[in-house]
Amino acid sequence: MIEIPNRRSKTVSLSSLPLSYCSNVLPGRSVPEIEEGIDSVTLPIRERFGHPMAVGLWFPRSVVDELTGSPHRITLFAEMLGSRSLPCYTLNAFPYGDFHGKRVKEQVYLPDWSQPGRMFYTARCAEILAAFLPDGGEGSISTVPLGFKGANKDPDFEHSCICELLATAVGLDRLSRETGKLIRLAIEPEPLCVLETTAEALAFFERLWWAAERAKVGAIARTHLGLC
């Protein structure tokens, strides 16, 4: 739990959730690699921290395929986290492929949000996260800010991104109704990306909300789409 002093020198909580350690700084090309990183790095960090701690997980496409190959595999991974007293409330679904290869750079932004592959990958991440959350729990998934600013794009790039994001929000709404778990997709502005600045993010979300209202999914979009 993060605490800050107030004017009366007391402490107030910014969140009821414990601090999370993000595992995307560790290689994780397979489920065994991720488990090894949790045991060799995350758990020792928690012991040094001396307080309850959660883990923020990164699952590249290869791990998502491995986990969703059978619902039993997701259950086993959730049980592994539980046995280590490591809850998970958030996934990093920004890097789709190998985030620890010899060359990453602009490849980390592919597929971008104009491509259906990004939505399918994100939806599967949401299914996995829902299995980790407690009953009635809430979670978040961070994602690429549409794409790499310097890449060649079709004239309808933004329109395609908006369509894919709204479809993702509808899918998250359906998942929420089926599981009772509320998951929000958080777009993460970053240098050299389509959404890089505060002004760019705000302008895009104005257009996104307008499109959502036109598609009659305004409430769903505002519930499930936001900023990291």
The domain containing residue 47 runs over which residues? 3-227
Confidence of residue 53 (pLDDT cuts 50, 70, 90): very high
pLDDT above 50: residue 205: yes
Amino acid at position 204, single letter: F
What is the percentage of the chain residues whose pLDDT exceeds 70? 89
What is d(CA 185, CA 227) in angstroms, rounded to the nearest whole number? Answer: 8
What per-residue confidence (pLDDT) applies to 4?
45
What per-residue confidence (pLDDT) applies to 103?
43
Residue whose pair of structure tokens reads 């791990």 in the numeric block: 63
- In this prediction the pTM is 0.89
Copy the structure tokens of residue 40.
């060799």
CATH number at residue 159: 3.20.20.150
Structural domains of the chain, count:
1
